[in-house]
Amino acid sequence: MEKPQVNVTSAASGHGEKEEGAGGAVILFFILGLVGSLLVGWVLFPQLLYSKKRQPVDFNHDKHMELVSDGCESCHFFRPDGTYSGVPQLAQCIQCHEEPNGEDPEEVKFVEEYVKKEREVPWLVYSRQPACVFFSHAAHVKMAKMDCVTCHGPIGESTSLKVYQANRITGYSRDIWGENMLGVKRKSWDRMKMDDCAECHAGAHVNPGSVQTQKDGCFVCHK
């Protein structure tokens, strides 16, 4: 029965000194935890989250833009029924590239690997959206008269294709969430999430939604 009392006494006697030392350690460990997790969250996590892939062929948009007459729509065209062709198929490229036109190694690779073997190029699409998203290029480009740059940025001026960063969890490109890990954007083409669609739709007071109800609704975009 005496023992607890002794303990209490000894603890009381060394109270002040222990408190000081422990307090420093507590703060230190707090800072360690804080800084460590910030580093993990800001530096390590993005490195782990995204894989880096090169495009199968390094395409030069700028060079092609000089040669075509109709801007982006020369290759990324609308079909007669109004549907959008998206990324060009091999059949389109072959019209000019049945044989290499120059000595650019990327062009030679393209002709040797894909044209001659009649294989479609497995382009990695930076703007690929999930299958549950219905997006009509015709509604935006033809009806709302938007330009390509608003969403896709000045990709037409690029001389080479940037590294494709695939999100290892979702499989989609980093360009959907945006380069900034907080999802902050400075330019309209920095992100392609649903909020970014909504921002423009709400802000521009475009007649947004369903033909029947004239209202916005989930089913306008999520068919």
Partner 1 sequence: MKIDRRCFLSFIVGGAAGTALSPLPWKITDDLSIWSQNWPWTPVPPAGETSFVTSTCTLCPGGCGISVRKVDERAVKVEGLKGHPVNDGGLCILGLAAAQLLYAPTRVRGPLKKVDGAWREISWADAIKEIAAKLADLRAKGQPQSVAWISESDRGTTAELCKRFLTVYGSPNYFRTPSIQDAYETALYLTQGQRAMAGFDVAQADFVLSFSSGLIEGWGSPAYMFRARNAMRQNGGRISQVEPRLSKTAAKADQWVPIKPGTEGALALGLVHVIIAEGLYRKNFIDSRSTGFDALKQIAGASYAPEAVSRLTGIEAKTIVDLAKAFAGAKKPLAVCGRGSGRIPGGLQEVLAVHCLNALTGSINQPGGVIAVPEPEYIDWPEPEMDAVASRGVQQPRLDGAGRDGFPLARYLLNRLPEAQTAGASAPVQALFVSGANPVYSLADTQAVAKAFSKVPLIVSLSSYMDETAAMAHYILPSHAHLERYEDVPAALGFPKPILGLSKPAVKPAFKTKYVGDMVIALAKAMGGPVAEAFGWESYEACLKQTLGNAWDTLVKNGYVVDAKFKPGEFETPSQKFEFNNPALAKLPAYAAQRAPGDEKSFPLTLIPYDTMRLASGPIGSPPFLVKALEETVLQQNTALVDVNPATAKDLGLSEGSAAVLSTPKGSARVKVHLFDGIMPGLVALPRGLGHTAYDKYLAGKGVNTNALISPVEDPGSGFEAGWGIRANLTRA
- Token pair of 73, please? 């729509």
- CB neighbour burial string for 176-202, b if at least 16 within 10 angstroms, e if fewer: bbbeeeeeebeeebbbbeeebbeebbe
Query: Burial of 157 by CB count in 10 Å (0-12 exposed, 13-18 middle, 19+ buried)?
Result: exposed
How do 50-53 and 164-167 pair as beta strands?
Answer: antiparallel
Per-residue mark of binding to partner 1, 74-103 (x: CB under 8 A): -------x-x-x---x--------------
Binding mask 139-168 for partner 1 (x = CB under 8 A): ----------------------------x-
Among 7, 8, 29, 96, contact with partner 1 (rule: CB under 8 A): 29
Choices 4-12, 101-109, 113-121, 129-137; region in contact with partner 1 by CB under 8 A: 129-137
Task: Tell the smallest beta-carbon distance from residue 192 to partner 1 (Å).
Answer: 13
Provide the token pair at 109: 């690779």
The contact set with partner 1 (CB under 8 A) reads 18, 21-22, 24-38, 40-42, 45-46, 49, 81, 83, 85, 89, 130-132, 167, 169-172, 177, 181-183
